[in-house]
Amino acid sequence: MPLQIMGEEGFGKVVRKMTSMMDQLQKGFFNFCSAETWQPTVNLYETEDAYLVCVDLAGVDKDKIDLAVVGNQLTLRGARPTPVPPSESEDSSKRVRVHLMEIDHGAFCREVDLPNDVDREKVAAAYRNGMLWVQLPKK
């Protein structure tokens, strides 16, 4: 289904891009992967036995998520397709106008610094309802 992106009035696109850049800076310079187009949001939790990382990856196919723990860093990579409205019919030639697109899509990367007491041999992950939960047991 072809998408048509409508022009924005005035400096709307510039303001949105600047806001995105400021958000990136607040997340931390050292957690930035320059080759990717966006970073998923993350919540970090700690229990007595483990650290838990919750990553918002709604719309991402779980088989296309690459997770690696190297040294003291958890790295997540993958891609989210451009969201398109469901077709009411099988006619894919119908044009759709996009008036606002705020949902990030494309390649992503997120790096999370880990404490020294993570047992890297026992890392486990589960994908539920668009959220990736990574359990990092303590030594």
The domains of the chain, with CATH numbers, are 3-82+93-137 (2.60.40.790)
Is this prediction's pTM over 0.75? no
Exposure of 26 by Cβ count < 10 A (0-12 exposed, 13-18 middle, 19+ buried)?
exposed
DSSP, collapsed to helix, strand or coil, labels residue 101 as coil
For 21-72, what is each residue's pLDDT tens digit?
A: 666 565 554 455 655 578 899 999 999 999 999 999 999 999 999 999 988 8
